[in-house]
Amino acid sequence: MTRVLLTGFAPFDGEAVNPSWQAVRAAAAEPPPGIEASAVELPCVYGASVAVLRAAIDEARPEIVICVGQAGGRPDITVERVALNVDDARIPDATGAEPVDEPVVPGGPAAYFSTLPIKACVAAVHAAGLPASISNTAGTFVCNHVFYGLAHLIATELTGVRGGFVHVPYAPEQVTDRSQPSLPVDAVARALREIAATTARTRTDLRIAGGATH
């Protein structure tokens, strides 16, 4: 059995739900064969989110960590390629903090690449009949903060762990009054199961085009 830790976020910016936590909880409740999954909800807070993540890793001792966040406006499951060492808040976090041009880890590298097999994960989600793509920016809000925090832990302390970040669209109930793309939570949970299973069995990523021109 491969131990996988899945994380999602609590609601933020006035939303009643966060589909990342809804989907993570559903995926962990019914993991794919060969996967022992656990799930934790992270606060949408700079600093505290990484502290909760680290505590969950210490408790679950996972081999794989997949952090998940909401990216309202995106139409598909996006597997993130790179985490940047910058916090630059366009909106406040759940405590009202709005850091501007601050490092996630002072003195840390400018960026880290995901250690998930990102292209194989996207291909697996496509094979399951669900929309997915690689993303080359995780933003500069708490999602990127957690992604970079995880990547720094993996690079400096948890060298046997693989991990990365996945963004998911709004849930349908969040977009009833606005024209925005959405995906049902059960579909997102299926995609996360595919990503977990693919990561568990894949050590060398696919060498296929997955870049972008802008």
Indicate which residues carry an active-site annotation. 80, 143, 167
CA distance 150 to 165: 9
CA distance 119 to 39: 24
For the chain, helix (H) and strand (E) counts, in that order, are: 5, 8
Among 26, 75, 16, smallest CA distance to 189 is for: 26
CA distance 125 to 110: 30
Which strand ranges, in their side-by-side order, compose the sheet holding 64-70?
Answer: 35-42, 2-9, 64-70, 162-168, 77-80, 132-135
